[in-house]
Amino acid sequence: MIVDALVVAGPNRFRPSSELRDIVAAAAAAGVEGLVVTPGRPLAYHLGPANDHLADAAGAASFPIARLGRVDPLCGADAAAEAQRCLGDLGCTGLFLHPGEEAFPIRQAAPVMEVAADRGVPVVVAAGLYALSEPLQVMELAAAYPSVPVVMTSGGQINISGLGMLDAWLALQHAPNLYVMTNGEYRQDFIERLARDLDATRVLYASFSPYFDLQYERSRVANARLDPAARSLVEGGNACRMFHLQPTSSIKH
């Protein structure tokens, strides 16, 4: 089962808004068989309604979908409460943090990480953002919460000189509960090295659409030289395991 392990749906202040049904259609056209979805940051500040909107949309979709609750750690106790609500009432199987759009350094994610540790769920972090979620900053977060799987988007680094790539590699080596997504990782040989020399169970194919191109990010992983076992894990096995995604039915709330 091929799973795009991160797309962003719904109203989005920072990118073109995409409704979940349109994303599902585009994903299916690209050969994707399951999705992990989190809401965009809506034009209004509050993330709670965005989590509700996504839950409703996913409930109406006839496509395997897992959801990540999006929370803003700067909201403190309210962030923890929203995380609990997402994981409980809304049926999310993980949480999503965007230090760029919610404007917080990842070290301030403690209120959310405490909930994730308590509930035993993974946390996906929009990574590679200067001073906010550099790979070694995310590594420190993962090290502080060793029971929480922490997933870095974007190969852990967003830098066309590749200057963050070694930091991403070192972070992954030092924090065994740290995982990485393939979106935007321009060095195919780095993706291949992660799967071959690090651990194929810690690499997840994701597009992070609409921040990255859904179709092209699918091609990026399809084009990588992975052995069959690694490919199965990277293209969907890891996402299914981590986010409890079932092949045949969407997760209802």
Q: Are 125 and 137 in contact (CB under 8 A)?
A: no
Q: What minimum distance in Å lies between the beta carbon of 108 and other proteins?
A: 23
Interface of this chain with other proteins, residues 32 to 91, rule: CB under 8 A: none
For 29, the token pair is 């056209």
Helices (H), the chain: 20-29, 47-59, 77-87, 110-119, 135-144, 165-174, 188-193, 214-223, 228-232, 238-243
Q: Is 97 helix (H, G, I), strand (E, B) or coil?
A: strand
Options 84, 108, 177, 188; binder of other proteins; rule CB under 8 A = 188
Residue range at the interface with other proteins (CB under 8 A); choices 116-124, 180-188, 228-236, 238-246: 180-188
CB of 83 or CB of 224, closer to other proteins: 224
Interface of this chain with other proteins, residues 104 to 143, rule: CB under 8 A: none
Size of the site for other proteins (CB under 8 A): 20
Q: What minimum distance in Å lies between the beta carbon of 193 and other proteins?
A: 10
Maximum CA extent, the chain: 45
**Cis, peptide link before residue 146, omega less than 30° from 0:** no
Residue range at the interface with other proteins (CB under 8 A); choices 44-52, 72-80, 81-89, 184-192: 184-192
Q: What minimum distance in Å lies between the beta carbon of 192 and other proteins?
A: 10
Options 17, 84, 159, 177; binder of other proteins; rule CB under 8 A = 159
Options 19, 22, 89, 189; binder of other proteins; rule CB under 8 A = 189
Q: Give long-range contacts, CB 8 A cutoff, 24+ apart: 100-105.
A: 100/126, 100/129, 100/132, 100/133, 101/13, 101/14, 101/41, 101/126, 102/41, 102/72, 102/73, 102/74, 103/74, 103/132, 104/72, 104/73, 104/74, 104/132, 105/131, 105/132, 105/133, 105/137
CB of 171 or CB of 224, closer to other proteins: 224
Q: What minimum distance in Å lies between the beta carbon of 225 and other proteins?
A: 9
Q: How far apart are CA 88 and CA 239, in angstroms?
A: 20
Interface of this chain with other proteins, residues 194 to 223, rule: CB under 8 A: 212-213, 215-217, 219-220, 223
CB of 177 or CB of 188, closer to other proteins: 188
CB of 115 or CB of 224, closer to other proteins: 224
17 binds other proteins (CB under 8 A): no
Residues that bind other proteins (CB under 8 A): 158-161, 163, 184, 186-190, 212-213, 215-217, 219-220, 223-224
